[in-house]
Structures are given as structure tokens and as C-alpha cells.
Amino acid sequence: MEARHVTRPDAPGETVPAEATARPLAARTLVAVAVGGALGTAARIGFGDLAALGDPAAAWYGDNPVDDLGAFGDAALLATLAVNLLGSLLLGVIAGAAWPARLDWLRAGCGAGFCGAFTTFSFVALVFAVLGYSSGLAWGLLISGVLGGLLFVAIGAIIGRAISPGAIRPGTAHPDTAEHPGSSA
């Protein structure tokens, strides 16, 4: 298989392997991911506070985890599942939406930053560490979180495509054409 080549932006007529044109990660992208991550973490903790749980992962500090199983009650597990599913839906919307290339940094901040910090697989791992691999609660959280997360990402992507500016909807003309419904040509 032959490598794909592209025209060099600084030297029209010359081609280079596509990999050679990769852009370095911009500082604004790193800042956007960091800010998105901070906001996502705050939102997750806020969601836990709304459910009167705080951050379930932060509620466990004891030396003997078996004595601290209250942090892994049904409400905490359901709140974690709800956060993970909501975050998956939002990530699907972000991934499915049409973003202008100039806003790639914002897309990274919203997706990897906010959604990555808002959702919490580490809590699922902590549940396994504390309750053990024979726990039905831990397995239920893992399976429903993974399968539900995949479903919610897919639904979110459909929503993202549907609400994107310039999205092609049934009964409308393609945005690149001059024809529009209701116009006479």
C-alpha cells in the first residue's frame, strides 16, 4: 500500500507524505483540555452534590475499605452510572456535530477535557478493588456502563449530526447548492 501524499502549503507543486504535515499540538488546545477537565470535574462533583453524595470516589478514605462500603451504596453507583451515561451522550453530540477546523481546540476541550473528566471509569475500577470481582453490583455497573455508554454515544452522534449548522435534513437542499425549498429558480 502506497503512502498518501499531499501538496505542501508552503511550496505549491511539491508533495510530501501526509504524515509530514501533522500540526504540533497548539497551546490553546492544551489549555482548552485543561479548562474543560477542571469544569468536567466540578460538574461531576456538582452532580454528586445534587444527589447528596458528594463525589463518591472521594468519599472513601478509610484504612479498611470493607468498613467503608457505604460509599458504594446503590445511590452512589446509580449516580456514577448516570454521570457516565450523560457524559457519553454529550461526547456523542460533540463527536457527531460538524465543527469548523478553526475550532478543533474547542472540540478537544469539550470532548476530551470536559467529558473525559465528567465521566469516571476510575470509580468503577475502585468499586471492583473494594467489593471484589464477585460483586454483582460491580459487574452490573461495568456492563451497564460500557454497553449503555456505547448506546448513548451513538444516540448523541445522531443528535449532533442533526443539530449541526449546515446539516442536511429531509426536505431541504444541500447547503452547497443554490436551490432552497420554496424558492423559484
What residues are paired with 16 via a beta bridge? 6
CA distance 7 to 105: 24
- 15 annotated ligand binder: no
Helix ranges (H only) for 25-112 are 27-50, 74-96, 104-108
Nearest residue to 93 via CA among 168, 166, 155? 155
C-alpha cell at position 153 = 454515544
Burial class (CB in 10 A: 0-12, 13-18, 19+), 80: buried
- 119 annotated ligand binder: yes
| Residues annotated in a binding site | 116, 119
| Residues annotated in a binding site for Na(+) | 116, 119
